[in-house]
Amino acid sequence: MSADSYRVLLSGGIFMLLILLRLEARRFGAAEFDESGRSPRRFATQISWYLIGVALLVALYSVHPAPHDVLYLLAGHRNDVVFYGAIVAGLGLLLAAALAWLRYGYLRLPTPAAYPGAGLNSIATAFIDEATFRGALLGALLVIGLPGGGAVLLMTVTYMIATRAAAPGRHYSVLVVTAFLGAAGGWATLASGGLGAAFIGHAVTSFGLFVFTGHAGQMPRGGRELEELVLRNEPPAGWIDARLVRGSAAGGESAAAYQEIGPSGFRSRADRWSAGRSTGLLAWIASAGLAATGRKPSGRPPVDRRAADRRPAKNPADGGHAGNRTRGRKPANGAAPRSQTRRRSR
68-107: pLDDT as tens digits: 999 999 998 889 999 999 999 999 999 999 988 887 887 8
pLDDT score of 173: 84
Q: Evaluate whether residue 329 is within a structural domain.
A: no
Number of domains into which the chain is organized: 1
Q: Evaluate whether residue 140 is within a structural domain.
A: yes
The reply to whether the predicted model has a pTM over 0.75 is: no
Q: Evaluate whether residue 306 is within a structural domain.
A: no
pLDDT score of 59: 96
Q: Evaluate whether residue 38 is within a structural domain.
A: yes
Q: Evaluate whether residue 76 is within a structural domain.
A: yes
Q: Evaluate whether residue 143 is within a structural domain.
A: yes
Q: Evaluate whether residue 310 is within a structural domain.
A: no
Q: Which domain holds residue 146?
A: 3-221
Dist CA 213 CA 218 (whole Å): 9
Torsion sign over Cα 115, 117, 118, 123: positive
Structure confidence at residue 36 as a pLDDT band (50, 70, 90): very low
Q: Evaluate whether residue 162 is within a structural domain.
A: yes
